[in-house]
Structure 1
Amino acid sequence: MQPMVIYHGGGCLDGFGSALAAYCYLNCREGLEVEYYAAQHNEPPPNVMDREVYLLDFCYPRATMQTLCEAASKVTILDHHISAYQDCKGLDQDFPHLEMVFDMNRSGAVITWEYFHREPVPRLLQCIQDRDLWSWTIPESRDVTAALASYPQEFDVWLPWLDELPLLEDLAREGKVINRYRNLEIIQYKKRAAMGRIAGFDVPIVNCPTNIISEVLGELAQGYPFAAGYLDKPEKRIWSLRSSAEGEDVSQIASLFGGGGHARASGFSTPLSASTRRLNNADLANTGT
C-alpha cells in the first residue's frame, strides 16, 4: 500500500518543513509514491487502512490515535508538542507497530530530518526551527521565514532552498523587505487589542492575521498571563495563545478547548456559533461573537 505522510497543515512552516524532510528521503531517495495530507486539529483523519503512516509535527488526540493505529499497518509519530506527548504517553505499549519520537527541544522539521537523514540539518530547516521554538539564535532566520511564508507550500518550490545557500541568501533579502512592512502591521494590530477573559484570566485579545499573529501576541503577552488572537474561517474561529517566560502554560489553557501545543505557544478552534461567555466551563468574552 502507498505510504501516507500526515503533517501539520494550516500554513505551518514547521509542518511543511517536516513534510519536505520526509519527501527528500521517501520520494527523492527511495523513489516511493507517497500521499501527503495536511492535517489540522478538530478535523477527522484520512483513511489509513493497511497503510504505513507517518505523523509529522502533528498528533491526533489519544482516542483518534488508537483508532488510527488499529487501522494502519505501521505508525510513526515525529512531534515536539508537549500536549500531544502527555496525551499519547504510553500508547506504544498497546500498539507494537507504533513508534513515537517526541522531543520538545527540536522542531518537527528537524526531528523529521534527523530521523530520515544522516546528513547535517539544512540551514533552511534550522531557520524554521529557530522561529518555531522562538529561539531567534540564527541572524537571518526572521528574514528567511518571513519570505518563506510568502511562497506556496509546494515541494518543487522549496527544494532548491535546501541545497543552494546563494538562493537562501536571496530569500533572506526578500524577507528584509517583507519584515519592514510587517513591523508596521504589528504596531497597528497591537493597538487593536482589547481586554477579555479566557479560562478565568483577563488577557489582551485581538483579531489578527496568521502571518503576524505570533509576533503581535508575543509583544502583547508581556505583563499578562498570556495573549490571545483569533481569525475566523467559514465555520470556525481559530485561536492562538502566546505567553512570556513569566506567563501561564498556554498548552493547558488550549487543552480546555480541545487544542494544544507548547507551554508558550498553543492554539485551538471553536465553532463560530459557540457562546463566548462559557465554553468547556471557561469564559471567552469581548471577542465579538
Structure 2
Amino acid sequence: MKIIGVYHGDCSDGTAAAAVLLKKFPSIKLFPLKHHFEEKDFAPIIAEVDEETTVYTVDNVLGVEEFVKKAKEVISLDHHIGANEEMKAFAAAHPNFTYIFDNNKSGASLTWTHFFGEETMPELVRLVQDFDLWQWKFGDRTKYLSRFMISFANQPNKVLEFFDENIETLLEQGKTISVFADYVVENYASRAEPLYIKIGGYTVPAFNAQFMFVSEIGHALAERLKSTVLLFSIHSERVHMSFRSMEGYTPNSLELAQLLGGGGHTLAAGAYVPLEKFWGMLQHDTNIRMDTNDTNGYE
C-alpha cells in the first residue's frame, strides 16, 4: 500500500501532526502545504497519487477535492471549524473520503489520539496543542516549547526524534530563545500603530508583521486595542492576512477571514487576497480612531 501525508506547512502543529504520521507509517511520503497554495506547490503532490494510494491530510483539508478523484482513499484529520460543514457534506457524497474532526484538539493531538490513543500522548504534543488552541494551561512550559519549535517547521523527521527526548532539555532551549522573543513581541506590540482596512462592513486595525511570533503579537495587540486585529505581510502579488481576537470580540477572527474566503478558528484565522485588492481595502482617512467602549473598534 502506498501512503502519502499532507500537513499544514510552516506550522508547528502541522509539523508535529506529520511527525505522528511518520511514527505510524515510517515509509510515508510527507508534503507540507499552505492555505491558498499555488499550482506549482500542489503539482508534485498530486503526481504521487494513484488508485493504490491512501492519502492522509493532517491539520488541514487542503486538496481533498482533487485527491478523492485519484486516490484509493483519503482520510482527513482536522480541527479548523471554518471548513467543518463543507467537509462533512463532502464526506457524505464521497465514499472514499473519511473526515475526522475535533475542534477541541489540535492537529497533532487529534492525529496522535487517532493512531495511538490519548493516554500515551507525549508532553510535547500536549504543549503544541496548548499553544495552537491558545489555551495556555501549562504557562511557561507552553511558551518555551512553542519557541523551541519555531526552528523546526516543516521538519517532521526532527520532531519525531523529540517525542522520545527529555522534554526538560527542549524547554530549556526554548527558554533561552524566549528572552529575545519576548523582547520582540513586547517592543512591537507597544509601539505599533495601525492602518485601517475595510472588510465587508467593518473597519479593522491592521499591522504589517511577518509570520514569526504572529500569534503572540496579534493577541497582544488585540488585547491592547480591545478589538480583533489584522496582521498582514505582502508576498509578491498576494497579501497574507492573519486575524487575531480575544474571547467575546465581534466580529471575531473567523468571521472576518471568511468574508475574504479564508478560514481557521474563532480567535485565530487567515486569508489571502490579491495585492491590488488589498490596496483598494485600505482606508485613507487619517482621522479614523478606535472606539473601544462598545463597538470593539468597528463601524
TM-score for the superposition, normalised by structure 2: 0.84
| 3-state DSSP of counterpart to 2:5 | strand
Please give the per-residue CA displacement for 1:162-206, whole angstroms capped at 9, x wherever unaligned.
Answer: 1122xx212211212211211211122222231402313233211
2:39 aligned with 1:37: no
Q: Does 1:74 align with 2:68?
A: no
Unmatched 5+ residue regions in structure 2? 285-299
What is the SS of the residue equivalent to 2:246? coil
CA distance in 2, matches of 1:193, 1:126: 35
1:221 CA displacement: 1.2
Q: Does 1:18 align with 2:6?
A: no
- Number of residue pairs matched by the alignment: 270
CA distance in 2, matches of 1:160, 1:68: 30
1:263 to 258, 263, 266: 266
Superposition deviation, residue 152 in structure 1? 5.4
Which residue pairs with 1:252 in the alignment? 255
Superposition pairs for residues 129-208 of structure 1, below 5 Å? 129-139=129-139, 140-151=141-152, 153-165=154-166, 168-190=167-189, 191-199=191-199, 200-208=201-209
Cα distance in 2 for partners of 1:214, 1:275 equals 21
The alpha carbon displacement at 1:151 in A equals 3.5
Larger deviation: 36-45 or 17-26? 36-45
Higher helix fraction (1 or 2):
2
Q: TM-score, normalised by structure 1?
A: 0.87
User: Is the 2:7–2:17 contact (alpha carbons within 8 Å) kept by the matching residues of 1?
Assistant: yes
User: What SS is found at the alignment partner of 1:114?
Assistant: helix
Equivalent position SS for 2:56: strand
CA distance in 2, matches of 1:275, 1:237: 7
Q: Which runs of 4+ in 1 moved over 3 A?
A: 64-67, 283-286
Secondary structure of 1:42's aligned partner: coil
Does the 8 Å contact 2:17/2:112 carry over to 1? yes
Whether 2:213 is the aligned partner of 1:212: answer yes
| Deviates further, 261-270 or 155-164 | 155-164
Tell me what 2:239 maps to: 237
- In 2, Cα distance between equivalents of 1:252 and 1:284: 19
Amino acid at match of 1:5: G
In the alignment, the residues of structure 2 paired with residue 90 and residue 203 of structure 1 have an alpha-carbon distance, to the nearest angstrom, of 32
Render the CA deviation track for 1:57-114: whole Å, top value 9, x for unaligned: 0013xxx533331222101010000011122222222111211111000000000011
Greater CA drift, 232-241 or 98-107: 232-241
Contact 2:127-2:142 at 8 Å conserved across structures: yes
Aligned equivalents of 2:227 and 2:71: distance in 1?
Answer: 41
Instruction: Specify the code of the residue in structure 1 equivalent to 2:34.
Output: Q
- Give the deviation of 1:56 after TM superposition: 0.4
Aligned-residue CA RMSD in angstroms?
1.9
Cα distance in structure 1, aligned partners of 2:171 and 2:194? 34
Report the CA distance between 1:260 and its aligned residue: 0.5
2:228 aligned partner: 226
Report the 3-state secondary structure (helix = DSSP H, G, I; strand = E; otherwise coil) of the residue aligned with 1:106: coil
Counterpart residue number, 2:61? 59
Question: 1: CA distance between counterparts of 2:283 and 2:86?
Answer: 28
Conservation of the 8 A alpha-carbon contact between 2:15 and 2:159: no
**Following the alignment from structure 2 to structure 1, what is the Cα–Cα distance between the partners of residues 19 and 282?**
37
